[in-house]
Chains A and B, each alone.
Chain A
Amino acid sequence: MHGEGSSRKVAREELIQARKLLAKSHAERSYAAGEPILQVRDLVKHFPLTQGVLFKRQVGAVKAVDGVSFDLRKGETLGIVGESGCGKSTVAKLITHLERPTAGTIRYKGNDITRASGRALKAVRRNIQMVFQDPYTSLNPRMTVGDIIGEPFDIHPEVAPKGDRRRKVRELLDVVGLNPEYVNRYPHQFSGGQRQRIGIARGLALRPEIIVADEPVSALDVSVQAQVVNLMERLQDEFGLSYVFIAHDLSIVRHISDRVGVMYLGKLVEVGTETEIYEHPTHPYTQALLSAVPVPDPEAEGRRERIVLEGDVPSPANPPSGCHFRTRCWKAQQRCAEEEPPLAVPETFSDTLPGEAVHHPSACHFAAERAAVVGPVET
């Protein structure tokens, strides 16, 4: 009698376990390649401009991010490009919960994590990690490399049992291509490229699914940039990571990204696959941006047509009405000042089919293709 009861209990527990496993595998399956792992909708971040010392009053707002939406799929790299002040770094900080959005939602695997706090936030942080731009200020100079890479385990003790941490840190150093014997060294004993590897190892420690990299190579020497880019690509394959790769260097973004979003003054102006954006850009800003990037090949350079934009980026505290780009755009007309173009497949291309290169979202009333923006593609 007694034994029967306990065996029934065991059986029920097994059932529960099995069901949990099933649910888990189902969850994993539904987030297999192609499914969005991160969905960002209408994200807005305004930084208030205040006056006064003790009693502050708001006199305006810097609209750093002004309605940004995108999906990130599992295992893919989404590149976000734009010039300084376009809000791309703020997007990184919003996704990693370093800043709170003014409005909009961020969903991770379907769950709204926009306003997560406490334990839920901690769980989010385990899955979304960040790699910073400046390898000189992103590592605490008073901590050894072992402590820096081991800190994630101190904060999330459930990830690695205490006795296991030292080994894990050494493993991580090895994974990013550094000698595991370096655990007791301090950051200043490393070069910029090596420091960036340490930063990547720290980001990897919690085995996140998403890594947000904000200009991860722009502070490095040319010959070292390639090493770090290759490392990031290898790690993506090894750990099935999804990257949000933020940079101003369009060449590197093309190299590493599957899809690319172009930002201007707090908004995404064009989103598409790497081919769509680089070979069939339809937004004038994307075209100007691409044509301005010098190509290290004088012959290819001679075959390109350069669009030189007039003027500077307007202040995000006071962006132009309608289309933000109209003040520098050669196509601008009255309509652009009155009506903000939505980020959607432009009307002009409404008769194209999905899969055609021009069939991608572009926030322009007068979207059109333009020849020889990037230059002839060599194979």
Chain B
Amino acid sequence: MTGTPAIEGPDEAETLAGVESEAERARGKGPSSPGREPPERARSMWSDAWHDLRRNPVFLIAGLLIAFLVLISVWPGLIASRDPLSCRLGRSLDASSAGHWFGFDTQGCDVYTRVVYGARTSVTVGVCATLGVAVLGSVLGGLAGFFGGVWDAVLSRLTDIFFGIPMILGGLVFLSMTGSRSVWTVVAFIVLLGWPQVARIARGSVITAKQNDYVLAARALGAGNARMMTRHILPNAIAPVIVTATIALGTYIALEATLSFLGVGLQPPTVSWGADISAASQGMQFRNAPHILLYPAAALSLTVLAFIMLGDAVRDALDPKLR
């Protein structure tokens, strides 16, 4: 027991008035005068979370960075006027100069332009893979948790099997078998091996939510499976899934870069930070021209960091235990 029952809420005076209305009824007075207080704005978990997030500097920094990243991945032309694929070997490894702030890489391409265009690949892979993982994972995990029994046994074993495959090793095997790889091949691969992480979380939180009395209450009222799932279980089970997915987003971006670095990820002409880092490290060229490694690596680190910070902030805001 602590001194403050958390439930007593923000407005003791008003809640007191609520109970006293019974005393008044008993005395034949009728309900406490309606409309005395304006109906207040509804406050839900989401608005509480948003309220917290807006005041969290970590979220603000991460949010600004991500907004900027999304902006330039949609319209890279906003800050880069050149073509990332027009390269002149003659300027190979040239240092930075006016108009070419980040210098040139081995192929004589403008590093600045390629870093800007690389954001699109990273953001696309990160966002699409996360969406896919979240949807597939929460559907399979949710079904296992909700129906239990044979569903749970089969789906959980399937989850374990996929969970056991190491991402990098799986990438080296699966992706090297594919001929030409686009952004979508990589996304599909990440979804295929990434969903168990979310499925486990989703299963657990669905089982937790399912045990609450309000789910029983809904069943006692005659609610069907669909209503129980959408109205009662999902809204109460979704928060951990969102948190896991947000944090995973950053790691998927890093994973794409890693796969590209290992040569099983994206291929030219797709512009990717991972591929550029790989190219820069070939033959130790970055010793003479560190800028060709530094800039794409910095962009990658910053992006991953931004998404992981976002995930942390979201977790803090949604996790009721920290409130």
Contacts and interface: CB of A to CB of B under 8 A. Distances in A.
A129 B22 CA distance: 23
Interface in B178-231: 212-214, 216-223, 227, 231
A268 B240 CA distance: 44
Interface residues of A, number: 53
Contacts of B217: 130, 132, 138, 199, 202
Interface string A135-174: 0111111111000000110111000000000000000001
Given A54-B153, A179-B31, A142 B9 contact: no
Interface stretch (A64-72, A119-127, A252-260, A285-293): A119-127
Interface stretch (B34-42, B63-71, B110-118, B281-289): B34-42
A142 B44 contact: yes
Interface in B1-56: 5-11, 15, 17-19, 21-22, 25, 31-32, 34-37, 39-45
Given A177-B19, A181-B35, A188-B7, A139 B40 contact: no
Contacts of A130: 216-217, 220
A141 B19 contact: no
Given A178-B18, A179-B31, A190 B157 contact: no
A11 B314 CA distance: 70
A64 B18 CA distance: 40
Interface in A166-224: 174, 177-186, 188-195, 199, 202, 206
Given A97-B220, A129-B220, A155-B223, A191 B213 contact: no
B45 A142 contact: yes
A156 B222 contact: yes
Contacts of B36: 181
Contacts of B212: 137-138, 140
Given A137-B213, A191-B9, 11 more contacts: A98-B220, A132-B217, A140-B231, A142-B44, A152-B221, A155-B227, A156-B221, A174-B21, A181-B35, A190-B15, A199-B217
Closest 7 CB pairs of A and B: A177-B22, A138-B213, A125-B222, A142-B235, A140-B214, A189-B9, A179-B18
21 contacts: A54-B157, A96-B220, A98-B220, A122-B222, A125-B220, A130-B216, A138-B212, A138-B213, A139-B214, A140-B214, A140-B235, A151-B231, A155-B221, A174-B21, A177-B21, A179-B18, A184-B41, A189-B9, A189-B10, A190-B18, A191-B15
Interface of A: 53-54, 93, 96-98, 121-122, 125-126, 129-130, 132-134, 136-144, 151-152, 154-156, 174, 177-186, 188-195, 199, 202, 206, 227, 231
